[in-house]
Structure 1
Amino acid sequence: MIGAKRVLAVIPARGGSKGVPRKNIRELAGKPLLAWSIEAARQSKYIDRVILSSDDPEIIETAQAWGCEVPFIRPAELAADDTPGIDPILHALSQVPGYDYVILLQPTSPLRTAEDIDACVEQLLRAAAPCCVTVTEPAKSPYWMYTLQANNAMQPLIQQELVTRRQDLPKAFALNGAVYVAEAEWLKRTKSFLTEETVAHIMPSDRSFDIDTELDLFLAEALLKQRVAQR
């Protein structure tokens, strides 16, 4: 809870992933990918209830085996390739009412910890903001990125004077997809975690992996095995 206010965590995991088939239940450092998010959520000091939103029987069974509630089955129309990411969260809030805050935890962020979740909540409270999301500093600055025009002519993505030292560039941050926290009623109105009212919590890059490819799985497994060995 946050004070006297109730907090719901939603882990969305549909069955039709394309980049890495069945990735939500792929084994990663001895556990299904999904289990890392369930465990982090259950260890949070703020989350009152952790639920799964899924259309897939095998994913549902796996989540239940790892201690996650599945109070409903996600409708097929909310599990399509083109379904906006916010829709399953709004659906979950309609199915499981009575919560003041909602936390979106994507299963593709297995290196995110309970401490990261709690720090994001605390940043929201410090800023007196309705929403907080996690970000990380990218390895490559967008100020050094280009688009390619006709004949592969290079065009700076961001127009500015040429800067040759990274430390002279403006700081830039990217969403890492690990934690999204919002007031439930505010989210129902805005239908987006990202507005001018949203604040950010910065996470380190080594916990900001978003699993989208087989290479991501390989690297995440190495980092998770290292974390387990250090305990």
Structure 2
Amino acid sequence: MTVLAVIPARGGSKGVSGKNLAPVGGVPLVARAIRAAQSSGLVDAVAVSTDDHRIAAVAASEGAVVIRRPAELSGDQASSESALLHAWEAFEDSSGEAVEVLVMLQCTSPFITPGEVADCVEAVLTGADSAFTAAPTHGFVWRRDAEGDAVGVNHDKAHRPRRQDREPEFLETGAVYAMTASGFWTHRHRFFGRTVLIETDPARVLEIDEPGDLDRARLLAPLLDGPGEVPGRGDIDAVVLDFDGTQTDDSAQVGSDGNEQVRVHRGDGLGIAALRRAGIPVLILSTEVNPVVGARARKLSVPVIHGVDDKGAALRDWCSTEQIDPARVLYAGNDVNDLGCFEVVGWPVAVASAHPVVRDAARLVTTVPGGHGAVREIASWILGKELA
């Protein structure tokens, strides 16, 4: 039984420009949806329906089938069902496979889990005609009547039971839908026959329709995504660290003589020492010219390159000199001058206090801010129990 997941992803968006390519947790929204489907264990193929060459390129790089959506199905008035039907037919024509279960994922729901996809598919495989994700709610819903007065929709305002005495209602999340292909062909909509709801965590429910939604998603990503696939000892040949804002809290005390003092975290020093004991080279790379950078490097017994304008070029030269594959280098930073280094290495990491643009570009984000043990956290990813 072939299970096809379709992700509708138009290039145009009135609310958020380039929405489907917007990164959350360092990953474009369309790629997040593709990965959730691929990791579910029950989806045989993932197709992205798009009219945009940039989205198509990302989809192809993630291993999805690209379905070129025609102009008549790409406008604001085109329905998701029309895109789903077109993608299904195009997939069958090109692959020769008969699809029996259709899944639709909306990449504007950034926190879809593989388990939610699997549960929706499983419901259809075991007898449901259609299934969708929904979040439980005990909220009291109101509307305005013709006079503009508040009227209770799901409750009598004069006799409201306690929360614990009410059965939950469910809010459709808009994230995942699954259905039999034959039923969809007949009914041409998502809900038909025996419909099952798949309960999801309300904390993960967020649809990106406007810029504020995207901002909230990016703030939530480190909490809801977790640390992600953290690198182990076998993944890393070197660790390169920014200084200000990464090993410090990005503040400084300036004396009357003009000398600066910064605050560092002892745990970071322990983490760096553990990396060195494990035979992993550590480099401090900074644009800062203040002697405090060199003093900290001497304290930690690690080499330092500082006072450079182009950190990306300096890092590339260092990797070449040391004969280290940049793809096996972890670089940790916090500000926009670190983005050049992010483009060089295979493991770009932002500390939790990093600039939003930097967090978005990172492969991983620490759970603690710079200057508060972020470097030790990174060392614990790589070394695990060896750090102790």
Q: TM-score, normalised by structure 1?
A: 0.88
Question: What is the alpha-carbon root mean square deviation over aligned residues?
Answer: 1.9
Equivalent residue for 1:61? 57
Equivalent residue letter for 1:123: A
Counterparts of 1:68 and 1:196, CA distance in 2: 30
Counterparts of 2:148 and 2:5, CA distance in 1: 45
Counterparts of 1:137 and 1:215, CA distance in 2: 24
SS at match of 2:111: coil
**Contact map agreement 2:135 2:205 (CA 8 A) in 1:** yes
Equivalent residue letter for 2:83: P
Q: CA deviation at 1:123?
A: 2.7
2:20 paired with 1:24:
yes
2:42 paired with 1:46:
yes
Aligned residue runs from structure 1 range 19-168, under 5 A: 19-70=15-66, 72-97=67-92, 98-126=98-126, 128-138=127-137, 141=139, 144-150=140-146, 152-158=148-154, 160=156, 162-168=159-165
Q: CA deviation at 1:145?
A: 2.3
Q: CA deviation at 1:151?
A: 5.2
Equivalent residue for 1:9? 5
Equivalent residue for 1:202? 199
SS at match of 2:79: coil
Counterparts of 1:193 and 1:202, CA distance in 2: 17
The structure, 1 or 2, with the larger RCO (C-alpha pairs under 8 Å, 6+ apart) is 1
2:224 paired with 1:229:
no
List per-residue Cα deviations over 1:161-193 (Å, max 9, x = no partner).
530522233321011012111111111101111
SS at match of 1:147: strand
Specify whether residues 183 and 153 from structure 1 end up closer, same or farther in structure 2 by C-alpha distance, changes over 3 A only.
Answer: same
Of 162, 177, 181, 1:180 maps to: 177
Specify whether residues 212 and 183 from structure 1 end up closer, same or farther in structure 2 by C-alpha distance, changes over 3 A only.
Answer: same
Equivalent residue for 1:214? 211
Structure 1 outlier segments of 4+, above 4 Å: none
> Which ranges of structure 1 fall in alignment gaps of 5 or more residues?
none
Deviates more, 1:211-220 or 1:195-204: 211-220
Counterparts of 1:132 and 1:203, CA distance in 2: 12
SS at match of 1:209: coil
Q: Report the structure number with the largest CA radius of gyration.
A: 2
Deviates more, 1:220-229 or 1:109-118: 220-229
> Which ranges of structure 2 fall in alignment gaps of 5 or more residues?
93-97, 230-388
Q: TM-score, normalised by structure 2?
A: 0.54
Deviates more, 1:20-29 or 1:56-65: 56-65
Specify whether residues 212 and 83 from structure 1 end up closer, same or farther in structure 2 by C-alpha distance, changes over 3 A only.
Answer: same
**Contact map agreement 1:163 1:169 (CA 8 A) in 2:** no
